[in-house]
Amino acid sequence: MSESGTPGRYNRSVDGLVAALVITVVAVLAWVVFRALTSQDEEIEPGAVDYLETVELAQDSDIEIAYPAELPDGWKATNVTVVPGEQPAFGLSILTDAGTFVGVRQEDESLDDLLATYVDEEPENISEEDALLVDSPIATTWEGYSDEGGDLAYAAELGEDRLLVYGSASQADLVLLIESLTTAPLTP
């Protein structure tokens, strides 16, 4: 039996509480500093996706999609999206060999909506650029746009859809992608 008459009790004081709090804070700060000094910021590289498989499935569903027949060396598709339905849409995200972004978006939306969604939310930040004349089976004339952040975009019509090629990549890279676009059926 306990001599004090109160089993399991110990002396408590404000000083003891403050000391325990200080020790806990110091331990947490020491851990944070240790992790900051010993860990490295890892760059997470997005994985490549097989966009041609998705294009083939969409074509099997009678959806006409403009897609790059192949990507230049070092480029990789990182995301592909197909929205089926009465107003199908297609999106493809690509990283160039320099790590810059190129996007392809095809859908039945107004050009203003596409530019606001994929280039700049504020219409006053988007400037019209010279039209682009290219040798492409999709369209030979592409309307040009840019924003204050340096993004470029080129738009053309494909049937009832609007096609937008956009991104932070150079104009030469965007043109390279535009010239590779096709709607040709993929063979299994």
The domain that holds 112 is classified in CATH as 3.30.200.100
How many domains does the chain fold into?
Answer: 1
Position 56 in a domain = yes
Residue 3: what pLDDT?
57
Residue 180: what pLDDT?
93
Burial of 74 (0-12, 13-18, 19+ CB in 10 A): exposed
| Per-residue model confidence as pLDDT tens digits over 153-182 | 999 999 889 999 999 999 999 999 999 999
pLDDT-derived band at 101 (thresholds 50, 70, 90) equals very high
Position 120 in a domain = yes
Position 11 in a domain = no
Tell me: pLDDT of 10 over 70. no
Position 109 in a domain = yes
Q: What is the mean pLDDT of residues 101-108?
A: 94
Domain containing residue 139: 51-182
Position 112 in a domain = yes
Position 137 in a domain = yes
